[in-house]
Amino acid sequence: MTVYQGMFRSQVLDLETQFSAIIPKNPRAVLYLLHGMSDDHSAWLRNSNVARYAEEHQLAVFMPSVHRSYYTDMAEGLSYWTFLTQEWYEELHQEFNLPDLEFVAGLSMGGYGALKWGLNWPQHFSGVVAMSAAVDVPRMRREWKDRQEEFARIFGTEEAFDDSENDLFALLEQDDLPPVLQICGTEDFLYEDNLKFKQAAERSIKDFSFIARPGDHNWTFWEAALQTALDWMDERMREDV
């Protein structure tokens, strides 16, 4: 197994950016694992046992850094969505001999990013996992007064957000969406938002699972959630054999 800290010169962002990768011998699938708002590409390696799990589950895991962008082409800022899904994604497939089977997962802001990527690419991923996800951006920008300017820089106006590639609830209004596993702690400050998304997703996604268990918005919860997520991915990998 190789644990890799990569530097990537992005033409889209016009800067050097970093990513982490875990590449076991003969991986069965690829997992794009996304970080939360206050973290970076190294967070999963520093705070969980993802390296050991990647080898046990034979997953090549790639973890990008997108700062506080919410995985978007920012209204006032850099085009992180284009970087992630086009430039960086294509570079990985040129540099590494990767299997075709792919998953995307993340926590908090990264849970939002995983859902956004999976729902925008509905035929591409074999599964999407959202842990403690920040799913209801309109609610957050209305109620979190200290973050309103930041949300405006990221997403633009509320009108520009509605029905866009950033609007998770609008993206659910499609056919043939990928399998989704949603996990959230019952003490998490985003729990009610996750229940709201669950209700909408159950109407739209055929293969949808929701797990609520005691826990808060922290790494103790996400370490356990990651193990649950990887077992769920194993089931989908067996189905695709």
- Domain borders along the chain are 2-240
Q: Comparing C-alpha atoms, which of 226, 235, 130 is closest to residue 184?
A: 130
For residue 106, what is the DSSP state?
E
Q: Please check the confidence at residue 241 and state whether its pLDDT lies above 80.
A: no
Q: Please check the confidence at residue 196 and state whether its pLDDT lies above 60.
A: yes
pTM for the predicted model, two decimal places: 0.97
* 1 band by pLDDT with thresholds 50, 70 and 90: confident
Q: Comparing C-alpha atoms, which of 213, 188, 212 is closest to residue 198?
A: 212
Half-sphere exposure of 23 (CA within 13 A, CB side): 14
CATH 3.40.50.1820 describes domain 2-240: yes
Tokens found for residue 238 = 């067996």
Give the Cβ contact number of residue 176 at 10 Å.
8
Q: Please check the confidence at residue 218 and state whether its pLDDT lies above 80.
A: yes
3-state class of 79 per DSSP?
Answer: strand
3-state class of 4 per DSSP?
Answer: strand
Q: What is the mean pLDDT of residues 158-168?
A: 97
3-state class of 81 per DSSP?
Answer: helix
Q: CA–CA separation, 200 vs 167, rounded Å?
A: 13
Q: What is the pLDDT of residue 67?
A: 96
